[in-house]
Amino acid sequence: MTAPARGLAERLAVLGSGSWGTMIAHLGALGGREVALWGRDPAVADELRTRGTNARYLGSTRLAPGIRPTTDLGEAVAGAALVVFAVPSAAFREVAASAGAFVTGDQALLSATKGLEPATRDTMSRVLRDETCAKKVGALSGPNLAKEILQGQPSATVVASRYRDVIRLAARLLHGPLFRLYGNDDLLGVELAGALKNVIAIAAGVAHGLGFGANVRALLVTRGLAEVQRLGVKLGAQPLTFSGLAGVGDLMVTCGSELSRNFRVGQGLAKGRALDEVVAELGEVAEGINTTRVALALARDHAVAMPITEAVGRLLFEGLTPQAALEDLMTRAARYEIDFDYAAEVG
């Protein structure tokens, strides 16, 4: 293992006190580490400090001692060897720029946000490089439902970075008996897999809400994976990344669990509810909505066919009904299954 950088304690800072940010802080604290957890809401910080809970996102279960909540960004970042960003993609650049005033070049930064920036189409690690002086950046992504982890159920994730020191440091601070960490050097692939699978999860939620069962879910997962991989590889990702935890693993979870926010968006739409109403009821960001817009733009620019993503886009933004979206997908021309270039029709 590599020794911590000089002047830095092996301390973890997590920026974002929503469900996933709080859970990352909990995992670090379970290992006996000091963890700073930053959030904007003083009420959440006060609850964490006095009760040890974050009821809005994680109910009444007490979190591991050792979490130090704060609303002071500089205090959270200062002296931490690893800083994890777990804020929505729409606010990511703002928070990264603010944190950049305190980040030093010897700190490692991880994105735990499964999204793409709408305006630039950038990955979150790209934003971290733009807005801070840090070179050692990476991303954390995998099939990680926060509430299941809080219940003590085993889980695993992927930390991707071009720097092995980042992966080793994250392993020391987060790996535990019930939370296994794997490394990957395909940072782009891991981030794209984590973001794009949210779009497919919306489609799976629609299918579930319409009353369809395991056959349709399997169809959406496998064909969804095919189009996510097509786009990812076109953008420079490694194909095998999409067969791992950050790819098919996360896709299986988000397409099959009502704990998934994006899945619940699809469910709500299938019941005839307006998108704004569904999102308001969630109380948290469903990244798949913004990611759908970005994915469609990338697919168009790079000439990549993404029929499920196209159907989700029409459902979200053009008023297509869930029934019509499914019919559109099922009536497309038959093709060969292994269709990396999406060119060969059966006939």
Is the pLDDT confidence value at 240 over 60?
yes
Domain with 255 in it: 188-330
pLDDT of residue 10: 82
Same domain, 170 and 300: no
Does 171 lie in the same domain as 80?
A: yes
What pLDDT band is residue 98 in, cutting at 50, 70 and 90? very high
Within a domain: 335? no
- Both tokens assigned to 200: 């497919």
Whole-number average pLDDT of the chain? 92
Number of structural domains the chain divides into: 2
Same domain membership, residue 248 and residue 194? yes
Residue 210 counted as domain residue: yes
Q: Are 242 and 267 in the same domain?
A: yes
In a domain, 338, yes or no: no
Q: Are residues 295 and 322 in the same domain?
A: yes
pLDDT tens digit sequence for 31-67: 888 899 999 999 999 999 999 999 999 999 999 999 9
Q: Are residues 211 and 270 in the same domain?
A: yes
Judged against a pLDDT cut of 70, whether residue 17 lies above it is answered with yes
Quick: pLDDT tens for 178-233: 899 999 999 999 999 999 999 999 999 999 999 999 999 999 999 999 999 999 99
Q: Point out the domain boundary residue: 150, 185, 220.
A: 185
Per-residue confidence band for 328, with pLDDT thresholds at 50, 70 and 90: confident
Q: Domain ends where: 185, 201, 218?
A: 185
Answer whether residue 343 is part of any domain. no
User: Can you give the C-alpha Rg of the chain in angstroms?
Assistant: 20
Model confidence at 325: pLDDT above 90: no
Per-residue model confidence (pLDDT) at position 284: 86
263 and 140 both lie in a single domain: no
Is residue 197 annotated as part of the catalytic site, yes or no? Answer: yes
Query: Mind listing the pLDDT tens digit for each residue in 158-169?
Result: 999 999 999 999
Catalytic residue among 147, 197, 234, 271: 197
Residue 251 lies in a domain: yes
Residue/partner pairs of 232-237 with CB below 8 Å, 24 or more apart: 232/188, 232/189, 232/192, 232/193, 232/196, 233/340, 234/302, 234/304, 235/188, 235/192, 235/298, 235/302, 236/188, 237/186, 237/188, 237/189, 237/192, 237/193
Residues 315 and 203 in one domain: yes
In angstroms, rounded to a whole number, what is the distance separating the alpha carbons of residues 230 and 32?
42
Flag whether 148 is in a domain: yes
CATH number at residue 75: 3.40.50.720
The stretches of 31-163 forming alpha helices (DSSP H) are 42-50, 55-58, 73-77, 89-100, 124-131, 146-150
Alpha-carbon dihedral 156, 160, 163, 168, rounded to 10 degrees: -10
Tell me the pLDDT band of 3, cut-offs 50, 70 and 90: very low
* Token pair in block for residue 280: 């308001």
The verdict on 320 and 226 lying in the same domain is yes
| pLDDT confidence tier of residue 338, bands split at 50, 70 and 90 | low
Strand partners, 161: 138
